[in-house]
Amino acid sequence: MKHLIENWKRFLVEAKKGPHQIYCDMDGVLVDFVAGAVKQINEDISDSNLPSRDENGKLTRLGKLRVALHRADADSISADQLEKFSSNRSPVRTAAIKYMYARLDNDVEFWANLPWMPNGRNLWNTIKKYQPHILTHPMGVGSEEGKERWIQKNLSPVPEEIYMSGQKYKWATKDGAKNILIDDFSTNIEPWKKHGGIGIHYEDENIAEAIEKLQELGFSVLRDPHEHDLHEPDIDHDIDDEDDGLYEVKRSLELRQEFKKMILEEQGMEQDSEESHHGEDRGLYIDPETGIITVLSEKDLKPTRSKKTNS
């Protein structure tokens, strides 16, 4: 069942070959690292079970951060004290950065459970049909495992290529073709461009600019406001093993015929060649609970579906 659902997701995405291969960063683009780090560090600061001194009586990195906060008459850090290019140059920022690297670089659970950026899902849903690769700079070995888990949990379909490196410019071109990097750090964008690639300096609050740039580069990512809304369902939500009810998915004839063929092959059956060429326009009903998929004629399609409700 899981194999069938994953294949169905890939059909719905209708992966296309874009004019350039897209490489997408994670932290600051898809994943809100700073928000997660601020939350974790502030929890540590207020945790009385975490000592400020080691067994030899010396201040730990956490202890130094607490001292800096006390001198600044503060009891917690803020996002600007962790932002890489913040104008904040206070002793609190210095202590917070040092503690951050020591505390989080190998914390697998931290990296695996970071929140999305506010517009992270919007960006991913815009570019995923072009089969983007992930290109991210890990902090430590534990962060690599955590990032991999985050990808597996949050991105669907899971990208086929995932790269972790601080030298991102090495992927700027391939066989003479220019690749695209979507990244929030200009320190990654500039070397990428110098090595022949196309860089999109991403800011979450200005996601529209990134999408417009992709459109200019030949990607079909802008929708006509007058276009009839025939968008695909939210496949991560609508086709879920835990959802009850019958979900209607109506796609193009070619897509449905291809998927029907795959279903029949899984069931060890052959498709009727005459039906495949002369059949009516069809829809697919998928029962996520049982995995039963039924190909129906247009007259049988119903615009209703049941969903679980929390009581």
- pLDDT average, residue stretch 97-122: 97
pLDDT tens figures, 278-305: 444 445 555 554 555 555 544 444 443 3
CA distance 135 to 171: 9
For residue 239, the model assigns a pLDDT of: 38
3-state secondary structure of 26: coil
Indicate if the pLDDT at residue 274 is higher than 60. Answer: no
Reported as a pLDDT band with limits 50, 70 and 90, residue 9 is low
3-state secondary structure of 102: helix
More confidently predicted of 125 and 290: 125
Q: For residues 68 and 95, is the Cβ–Cβ distance under 8 A?
A: yes
Beta bridge partners of 248: 285
Reported as a pLDDT band with limits 50, 70 and 90, residue 310 is very low
Look up residue 271 and give its DSSP letter. -
Q: Round the average pLDDT of the chain to a whole number and report it.
A: 79
Which pair of structure tokens corresponds to residue 217?
């580069």
For residue 85, the model assigns a pLDDT of: 74
Q: Other CB atoms closer than 10 Å to residue 114's CB: what's the count?
A: 23
Q: Report, at the CATH architecture level, how domain 11-32+114-216 is classified.
A: 3-Layer(aba) Sandwich (3.40)
pLDDT tens figures, 58-106: 999 999 999 999 999 999 999 999 988 777 789 999 999 999 999 999 9
Which pair of structure tokens corresponds to residue 224?
């006509």
**Helix (H) or strand (E) run with residue 160 in it:** none
**Helix (H) or strand (E) run with residue 248 in it:** strand 247-249
- pLDDT average, residue stretch 15-35: 92
For residue 247, the model assigns a pLDDT of: 33
**Helix (H) or strand (E) run with residue 186 in it:** helix 186-194
CA distance 12 to 286: 13
Return residue ranges of the chain for CATH 3.40.50.1000.
11-32+114-216
For residue 105, the model assigns a pLDDT of: 94
Compute the C-alpha angle 126/281/241, nearest 5°: 55
Pick from 208, 199, 202: which is nearest to 22 by CA? Answer: 199
| 157 preceded by a cis bond (ω within 30 of 0) | yes
CA distance 194 to 173: 11
CA distance 87 to 261: 59
Indicate if the pLDDT at residue 18 is higher than 70. Answer: yes
Distance of CA 98 to CAs 64, 71, 85, 107, 297, Å? Answer: 10, 17, 15, 15, 63
Q: Is 263 exposed, middle or buried (CB count within 10 Å of its CB: 0-12, 13-18, 19+)?
A: middle
Lowest average pLDDT, out of 15-24, 37-46, 71-80, 193-202, goes to 15-24
For residue 222, the model assigns a pLDDT of: 75
More confidently predicted of 12 and 106: 106
